[in-house]
Structure 1
Amino acid sequence: MSETSPHPDAVAALVNARHGDPFALLGPHEGSEGTVVRAFLPGARSVSLVTQGGSKPMRLVQDAGLFEAALDRAPYLLRIDWGDAVQETEDPYAFPPLLGELDLHLLREGTHQDIGRCLGAHPMVVEGTAGVRFALWAPNARRVSVVGDFNGWDGRRHPMRLRHEAGVWEIFVPRVGPGAIYKFELLDPNGSLLPLKADPCAWQAEVPPATGSIVVDTAAIVKPAPRPHPAPPETLPISVYEVHPGSWMRGEDDKALSWEELGDKLIPYCTGMGFTHVEFLPVMAHPFGGSWGYQPLGQFAPHAPFGPPEHFQRLIARCHEAGLGVILDWVPAHFPTDAHGLARFDGTALYEHADPREGFHQDWNTLIYNLGRREVRNFLLGSAIHWLETYGADALRVDAVASMLYRDYSRPHDQWIPNIHGGRENLESISFLQDLSRVIAERCPGKLLIAEESTAFPGVTRKADEGGLGFDFKWNMGWMHDTLHYMERDPIYRQYQHGGMTFGMVYAFTEKFMLPLSHDEVVHGKGSLIGKMPGDDWQKFANLRAYLAFMWTHPGKKLLFMGGEIAQWREWNHDRSLDWHLLDEPRHAGVQRLLRDLNRLYASMPALNALDTDPAGFRWVVLDDNANSVLAFLRFGPDGSPPALVICNLTPVLRQGYRVGLPFGGVWREAFNSDAAIYGGANNGNGGMVHAAEEASHGLDASAALTLPGLSTLILVPAEG
């Protein structure tokens, strides 16, 4: 054995794909006899070194495919005869480490905010050679190889270099480019081979059920310019249309629309309906369509069936060009257990907690991110930044926040572990959410965070530096449950449930709220919105119209899941299009028109939006007329803007001469009537205007005797307003 020859044990480890430091053997190595190049190419018939001086055969020194030759001059290429083809390429093991010391330092600290452009697969040119740098965090693996369609999925071909200080493996593979399909092959700490793993930081994934990652020209996906910062969001009209991309509308042969096709149809629909934002159920790559995206594995990759990443980025840009904001549902709480995913990624509980009492979500059969680990927090923070910066999304709606905040969430008393103080609060998750809000505010000013949080946890929308979680808005799940429960009751019994419509105002200003009628209310046997309404068909439509108008005038930003605006009878099915044919029927078209008009009225009247989170923007006028199921309230805008009076009559009884207090006398215009004929109603009302007399009522200086149509909501504004 010469001085430069590797030890037989090292060769055996390399041949058996168990060597943890392949760069110590492969590539060029200096010795007393000069430079020797080694290449391990299983299956190659012959290999030659190609330099400017010519070609030199390499000697087979191990039958499994280890070749060796002295190098006369650099640089060199490897000419590989595979039998059916000859390949000429640079040697991956001739390239130096590419991740810089700053990258490694930030990764080790868990503060690398550009992790999506550091780890994963990134095409680049190194020393004049085009290829792809692969990098993967897997600190407990004994060996990691990148495998793909460029190396026959052979884990012996491209074992990677471990950067010990950060637990990151890397390799530059020359002459690989965008479109290549790849995964990672890992040996666990015991030396056992794991199932092939997809890249956690991949920017593109194969269409399920395939599970590979795809190399993307990440440098070509340029971050869009930041949008101008709007006024404080709580002072703006925000009306959100929640959409599942695969089932909003289907194309030919009942196929889901692509990102491009969706942009052609969805954007004009949303803007024509007056919505300010579209919110997509999670678009992050997920293995099972029936999860609707709420069990994602690709936290950096748009879901593949709808098109490549650049098309999704273009969809958001087109939304912005049309004046439509984009909200993305984002899931940092848990992930599915698929073998190719994050579960026991390097043979250990790397992304999840090791103890199932902390790491397994019993309701959803998923694994819970270990947010006490800095690298896991870094991974998720990097994902959030990726969607807001690289794709230009305007907001993230964070899913399942309640499940993150409490260690005993949906667990029996003996199936959870208290925090260090003996309490039930998940201190690590709380800290993560606070860090998330701080990072987004600093790195992505003007972008919003919205919490789906269903408990009374205090300070969800208080700034993190003031002890809150730092969200901009919180879904008001209590309001949704109470009001829907009320509306589902037969009107004859509503007098006993009056608080369902009024209780929300007790806490309406404790947080900055968004009122949601989301997808969760029209699945799993809950039926549709119109289907929840009591009575015959006429009453069902009237109830729905009155309820939507109540929602659009109540303090809080608005969110409606697709299909609610056309009064779809059928419960939502993620594999079917909405029932757009219903719009051929006047009653369904009437609900759609009502919602369009509500959006326009809401956006044009400061009284309905500017003080949504300020008690000065609301006053009860009729609070306790439960016997008639009537309620009325005033909405106020900033100084000088006209107020609006909202009156709801939630029984089918037409009430005439019903006196309601007003802040001043004169002519008040009936700006909206949910019973109007154009919406499918009976067209009862006040002839478009009322005269308020200087007759005090309900603690106000003036009042008017109104006609209240059955099952209706009216909006009155001063005539000059």
Structure 2
Amino acid sequence: MSLIDRSEAEALVEGRHGDPFSILGLHRTAKGNRIVALVPDAQRLWAVGATEVELEQVLPGLFCGKWNEPLYRLRAQNAQATWDFEDPYRLSPVLGSIDEYLIGEGTHHRLWEALGAHVMTHEGHEGVHFAVWAPNAERVSVVGNFNSWDGRRHQMRRRGSTGVWEIFLPGLMPGDMYKYEILGAGGKLLPTKADPVGFGAEHPPATASVVRELGLHDWGDGLWMKERAKAQDVHAPVSIYEVHLGSWRRVWEEGGRPLSYYELSTQLIDYVADLGFTHVELLPITEHPFDGSWGYQPVGLFAPTIRHGRPEEFAAFVDAAHQRGLGVILDWVPGHFPTDDHGLRRFDGTPLYEHADPKEGFHRDWNTLIYNFGRREVANYLEANALFWLEQYHLDGLRVDAVASMLYRDYSRSEGEWVPNRYGGRENLEAIEFLKQVNTLAYGKSPGIMTVAEESTAFPGVTSPVHRGGLGFGYKWNMGWMNDTLRYFSRDPIHRRWHHNELTFASSYTYSENFILPISHDEVVHGKGSMIGKMPGTAAEKFANLRAFYAFQWAHPGKKLLFMGQEFAQWHEWDSGAALDWALLDAPLHAGMRNLVRDLNRIYRETPALHWGDCEPCGFSWIEADDAEHSLYIFERSAPGQRPVVIAANLTPVERTTRIGLPVAGSWREILNTESGHYGGANWGNLGEIIAEEIPWMRREFSAEVYLPPLAVVMFTPD
């Protein structure tokens, strides 16, 4: 004990020393240079360099001795084995002063390059550097399969006042499992924690993080990345196929497993490209412990779920999409996180990532915790995570989940159950500033991307630029249009005349934001049934109604989104534990529905009048909006210098021949008719053409007699 204080020695052995690097390793003292090493399963220990010195065991597992060389290795021995290893406590820190400064300031926009587990070579040694933020911890250790999950072995170094702890462990490699063992205030041992910035994880229900190496994929999407801004512009056709990777298709011959990222990069990407969608949107693939959350309760925000493969395999999936001309959007969840013990909850023994007050920090709807957006380190963590996915995996957009729950402090709370902001209001000012900052950083650092808000209220300026006082999103889901249109189409046609405004009301706000028209997973779960199941009438009428619904959606201003399975009218609602009912495509009506979606996408992409003005008021005008008696809707879509398209919807089961107003004379081609036999209809139409005469009608200079099939939408464009 002459070379080490007994109380410090005991603290080390008991795993409660707050500064192990001040004792362990090689240090110069008044009594000469000494080595102190903690190797709990060793009975004897030597320092080995040009010479070899056996160290004295001063407490079980703790060894100390004099050493006069600058370098050494350790050699341990017990009854079972002898082994040599590098002493991590003789190595210098990895993080630099700039990292410390930016982390402390909450402005480290590439936080994933500092924190997490990084495979590297440090001072000539290959290994893994670990760093984690736990400012209120008394001690942090990295534990794993490499040290018998023993928190005494690799106690970490605290980095000043930043709250960051780090250690470099030589000899570790990708695939090693690890967690953080943390002593909270008063020396309380917490449940072991997964890495908040971990790049990989074990297969659930196991919960450890896994060392993964980033940057292994050789990207081939340079052309897409250069041109993608044009493909995501408000004037471009944007048609999104929303998909849950775990239940799109399964391999039943192998126990019903989900497809791998590699398999999805061909099967899913080929399918989506064939249907003519421009984007695929993934329900959250950030690592999550519970399958039933569909990914909306993530624990590993920096890790693509291992359910489908490793990080480089996910990168290959994104690359494959880009090489087929498809953008990839990720559902991103910065609004809340689950209460799992291995996650962020009371990470260092205190409410670190969440609010302490449950009136601010607990979501009763989802039994989750709410991030403390007002804490700079927490906001920085989330901001960096957004950039991580955009930069590291070349993602083309983030659809931000549950924005409304972030914007309002009283979201789903009764009076007295929420805390007002500093002005006494209900707006969450800190969350608002956070969202503005995310959008500013995302668009500034990743040109050409899009951000999308799932926001269900009338909060102003969601898609207005931040410098004009808006939140800065590129697009917003039009939940009002979705609710009104679904409500209308679910009604028996005999009652539709009394609810005519449900399809026209959207015109009063359609250009208040840059909207996406979503038929998402939320509309086909929890007892809501499938899209075909919502439609009224006989089986044939249900299909006719749904064909008309989709054609109305694609014709209406706004970008498009459709959830998987609805393109072929799956009968049962979505089941995340199963797969889509692909056998239905053997039936003509279901195959016809998919044919319609394919043609809608093709016409939408090829016809500027149908997409240029999705977010511009000059691209839409009503020709007939008031014929409630016949449930008839006629409108025009247009684009500068392009042929207009006139859309006529007859939403009763009665066929009609009527005159409609048209903007120009001459021959008009019937470019789409939902009653076509190719889509499962009866082939009733206009033989491909109508003739506009100089007969003023419906406030237009020209008009034509047209046949409108029952429960159908017909589109015309002039020759």
1:662 aligned residue: 662
Question: Residue deviations 1:221-273, cap 9 Å, x none?
Answer: 67875443533610000000000000001113311111111112001100000
Alignment of 1:266-345 (within 5 A): 266-345=268-347
SS where residue 19 of structure 1 aligns?
coil
Between stretches 467-476 and 71-80, larger displacement belongs to: 71-80
TM-superposed deviation, 1:82: 4.2
Q: Confirm whether residue 228 of structure 1 aligns to residue 231 of structure 2.
A: no
Alpha-carbon distance in 2 for matches of 1:87, 1:693: 94
Question: Residue deviations 1:35-81, cap 9 Å, x none?
Answer: 1111011121211111133x32211111x211112213231101122
1:56 aligned residue: 53
Alpha-carbon distance in 2 for matches of 1:276, 1:317: 15
Q: Output the amino acid matched with 1:390.
A: Q
Q: Output the amino acid matched with 2:705.
A: A
1:647 aligned residue: 648
Alpha-carbon distance in 2 for matches of 1:279, 1:209: 26
> What TM-score do you get using the length of structure 2 for normalisation?
0.98
1:635 aligned residue: 637
2:394 aligned residue: 392
SS where residue 334 of structure 1 aligns?
coil
Q: Confirm whether residue 245 of structure 1 aligns to residue 245 of structure 2.
A: yes
Alpha-carbon distance in 2 for matches of 1:373, 1:32: 44
What count of residue pairs does the alignment treat as equivalent? 713
Q: Output the amino acid matched with 2:652.
A: T
Question: Residue deviations 1:654-682, cap 9 Å, x none?
Answer: 002x1110001110000000000111101
Q: Tell me, which stretches of 5 or more residues in structure 1 are unaligned?
A: none
CA contact (8 A) 1:631 1:649 kept: yes
1:147 aligned residue: 143
Alpha-carbon distance in 1 for matches of 2:317, 2:83: 40
1:708 aligned residue: 708
CA contact (8 A) 2:215 2:392 kept: no
- Residue 608 of structure 2, aligned match among 586, 606, 609: 606
TM-superposed deviation, 1:85: 3.2
1:102 aligned residue: 98
SS where residue 433 of structure 1 aligns?
helix
Q: Confirm whether residue 32 of structure 1 aligns to residue 22 of structure 2.
A: no
Q: Output the amino acid matched with 1:167.
A: G
Q: Output the amino acid matched with 1:342.
A: L
SS where residue 661 of structure 1 aligns?
strand
SS where residue 42 of structure 1 aligns?
coil
Q: Output the amino acid matched with 2:57.
A: L
Q: Output the amino acid matched with 1:21.
A: D
TM-superposed deviation, 1:303: 0.8
Between stretches 217-226 and 262-271, larger displacement belongs to: 217-226
SS where residue 145 of structure 1 aligns?
strand
Alpha-carbon distance in 1 for matches of 2:218, 2:171: 23
CA contact (8 A) 2:214 2:311 kept: no
- Residue 155 of structure 2, aligned match among 138, 156, 159: 159
SS where residue 301 of structure 1 aligns?
strand
Q: Output the amino acid matched with 1:6.
A: I
2:182 aligned residue: 186
Seen in structure 2, the aligned counterparts of structure 1 residues 222 and 150 have a Cα distance that, compared at 3 Å, is farther
Alpha-carbon distance in 1 for matches of 2:95, 2:218: 21
Seen in structure 2, the aligned counterparts of structure 1 residues 243 and 373 have a Cα distance that, compared at 3 Å, is same
Q: Confirm whether residue 74 of structure 1 aligns to residue 70 of structure 2.
A: yes
Q: Output the amino acid matched with 1:506.
A: S
Q: Confirm whether residue 682 of structure 1 aligns to residue 679 of structure 2.
A: no
SS where residue 68 of structure 1 aligns?
strand
Q: Output the amino acid matched with 1:77.
A: R
SS where residue 248 of structure 2 aligns?
coil
Q: Output the amino acid matched with 2:229.
A: P
2:348 aligned residue: 346
1:22 aligned residue: 20
Q: Confirm whether residue 363 of structure 1 aligns to residue 365 of structure 2.
A: yes
TM-superposed deviation, 1:34: 2.5
- Residue 83 of structure 1, aligned match among 70, 79, 102: 79
Question: Residue deviations 1:638-695, cap 9 Å, x none?
Answer: 2x10000000000010002x11100011100000000001111011111100011100
SS where residue 622 of structure 1 aligns?
strand
CA contact (8 A) 1:459 1:467 kept: yes
Give the fraction of aligned pairs with identical amino acids, expressed as a percent. 53
Between stretches 227-236 and 545-554, larger displacement belongs to: 227-236
Alpha-carbon distance in 1 for matches of 2:119, 2:206: 23
- Residue 563 of structure 2, aligned match among 558, 561, 570: 561
Between stretches 658-667 and 526-535, larger displacement belongs to: 658-667
SS where residue 559 of structure 1 aligns?
strand
2:408 aligned residue: 406
Q: Confirm whether residue 10 of structure 1 aligns to residue 12 of structure 2.
A: no
Alpha-carbon distance in 1 for matches of 2:297, 2:226: 30
Question: Residue deviations 1:281-303, cap 9 Å, x none?
Answer: 00000000100000001110001
Q: Confirm whether residue 132 of structure 1 aligns to residue 131 of structure 2.
A: no
Alpha-carbon distance in 1 for matches of 2:517, 2:82: 64
Alpha-carbon distance in 2 for matches of 1:186, 1:358: 26
SS where residue 713 of structure 2 aligns?
strand
CA contact (8 A) 1:187 1:194 kept: yes
TM-superposed deviation, 1:97: 1.5
Q: Tell me, which stretches of 5 or more residues in structure 2 are unaligned?
A: none
1:209 aligned residue: 205
Alpha-carbon distance in 1 for matches of 2:684, 2:179: 66
CA contact (8 A) 2:266 2:320 kept: no
CA contact (8 A) 2:57 2:63 kept: yes
Alignment of 1:411-490 (within 5 A): 411-490=413-492
CA contact (8 A) 1:221 1:390 kept: no
Alpha-carbon distance in 2 for matches of 1:660, 1:170: 73
CA contact (8 A) 1:449 1:472 kept: yes
Between stretches 118-127 and 276-285, larger displacement belongs to: 118-127
TM-superposed deviation, 1:10: 1.1
TM-superposed deviation, 1:426: 0.3
1:542 aligned residue: 544
SS where residue 434 of structure 1 aligns?
helix
SS where residue 307 of structure 2 aligns?
helix
Q: Output the amino acid matched with 1:712.
A: A
SS where residue 623 of structure 1 aligns?
strand
> What TM-score do you get using the length of structure 1 for normalisation?
0.98
SS where residue 230 of structure 1 aligns?
helix
Alpha-carbon distance in 2 for matches of 1:309, 1:47: 39
Q: Point out 4+ residue stretches in structure 1 off by more than 6 angstroms.
A: none
Q: Output the amino acid matched with 1:239.
A: S
CA contact (8 A) 1:267 1:319 kept: yes
Question: Residue deviations 1:395-427, cap 9 Å, x none?
Answer: 000000000000000001110000000000000
Alpha-carbon distance in 2 for matches of 1:591, 1:248: 18
SS where residue 234 of structure 1 aligns?
coil
TM-superposed deviation, 1:214: 0.5
Alpha-carbon distance in 1 for matches of 2:453, 2:361: 22
Alpha-carbon distance in 1 for matches of 2:681, 2:82: 76
Quote the RMSD (CA, aligned, Å): 1.1
SS where residue 542 of structure 1 aligns?
helix
Alpha-carbon distance in 2 for matches of 1:623, 1:77: 83
Alpha-carbon distance in 2 for matches of 1:410, 1:477: 17
CA contact (8 A) 2:175 2:211 kept: yes
Q: Output the amino acid matched with 2:530.
A: S
- Residue 581 of structure 2, aligned match among 579, 582, 593: 579
Q: Output the amino acid matched with 1:206.
A: E
TM-superposed deviation, 1:219: 5.2
SS where residue 305 of structure 1 aligns?
coil
SS where residue 532 of structure 2 aligns?
helix
